Amino acid sequence: MQLVKAGLCAFGMSGKVFHAPFLKEHPGFFISAVVERSKEESKEKYPEAAIYRSVEEMLQNTEVELVIINTPVQTHYEYAKKALEAGKNIIVEKPFTVNVEEAEELVKLAEERGLFLSVYQNRRFDRDFKQVQKVLNEGKLGNIKEAEIRFDRFRTTPSGKQHKENPDQIGSGSLHDLGAHLVDQAVQYFGYPEKLFADVFSMKGSEFANDYFEILLYYKNDLRVRLKSSVFTKEDHYAYKIHGDKGTFLQERTDNQENELVAGAIPVYGKEWMLPLKEADGILNYLNGNSETERIFTSSEAGNYMDYYQQIYEHIVFGYPLPSPGKEVIQNMKIIDASVKSAKEEKIIIL
């Protein structure tokens, strides 16, 4: 099996939870390098990886062919550009960049250098996202008229992470953080909208970056899609509400991969590593072919972030389609940028 040598630009939560375990367990990847500016925590689980004190130093390693840009979003553009200029294929953590101009420049540079750029939209591999996609593909809801996608948390106190909570730093706040997931999901389900209106602000106060947003997406076929997130939500909602002219589907956000990984779970290559659900996590209520109502409690199948890295590997070795290519995710950045403008100017923005 061809071995792809990878380097991680940081070893914080993203590196420890979302990337290193999958690179380690996938037989087609080898973690050659990790950037740790002062610590050496990666040595315990990844002793074979060389430790570098800066991204620039790691990029001089000619063996590294795939670089994961998993640093704070404010640094994505800088490090992604340096990695591409060093001849490396790259994976950029979400959010892609702080604005669409940076995203477009990076995509153009990757194309000029004949390299690939993928954005780590891992929530496409969540069980709940996949279940909604399955129901939409089945067509039982008829023509979709309205949808709502939420990603809520109960985090009422500051985290202390300046790159996420400092309102003076572009790219900080929930809109770029969680919004990068919700916008991506909406575009994957329904395509690129015609216009939008957004309400974005900080419930914790103006000294903090936005922690609440509501985005209304308008589509040409009169479909309305609402994206919403709040950190003052103690009780869970249905994360997905899909309404069509033949029925409704309600889906909980039940993917537990992140929690399991944080707790130390080791993903397994080649098969599902998450346990099946014990209870249903969705409700499908629709009119069947006889115009009779059927109400079904549904259970989503396990998600698997390993599938992302499998697709990356298949792209490198076999030329298969690249997952979430940067050129595609530029659309998401346009929606996020337009949401910032809409909230600031308090008006609908044409896309």
Tally of CB atoms within 10 A around 270: 10
pLDDT digits (tens, 9 = 90+) for 214-256: 999 999 999 999 999 999 999 988 999 999 999 999 999 999 9
DSSP string, 143-191: SEEEEEEE---B--S----HHHH-TTSTT-SHHHHTHHHHHHHHHHHH-
Q: What is the pTM of this model?
A: 0.95
User: How far apart, in Å, are the Cα atoms of 335 and each of 34, 133, 137, 184, 296?
Assistant: 33, 21, 24, 10, 34
Closest CA to 327 of 115, 22, 82: 115
pLDDT of residue 200 exceeding 80, the answer is yes
Tokens of 271: 């098969």
Contact 203, 231 (CB under 8 A): yes
2: CB partners within 8 A, 6+ apart? 28, 316, 317
Residue type, 332: N
CA distance 248 to 285: 5
CA angle (315, 321, 327) in 5-degree steps: 110
Tokens of 316: 């490198």
Q: Domain locations in the chain?
A: 4-120, 123-303+333-350
CA distance 159 to 140: 43
pLDDT digits (tens, 9 = 90+) for 306-347: 999 999 999 999 999 999 999 999 999 999 999 999 999 999
The tally of CA atoms less than 13 A away on the side-chain side of residue 243 is 11
Beta bridge partners of 171: none
- CATH fold of 123-303+333-350: Dihydrodipicolinate Reductase; domain 2 (3.30.360)
pLDDT digits (tens, 9 = 90+) for 146-176: 999 999 989 888 877 778 889 889 999 999 9
What was the pLDDT predicted at 94?
97
Q: Compute the residue count for the chain.
A: 351
CA distance 169 to 166: 6
Superfamily of domain 4-120: NAD(P)-binding Rossmann-like Domain (3.40.50.720)
CA distance 201 to 207: 11
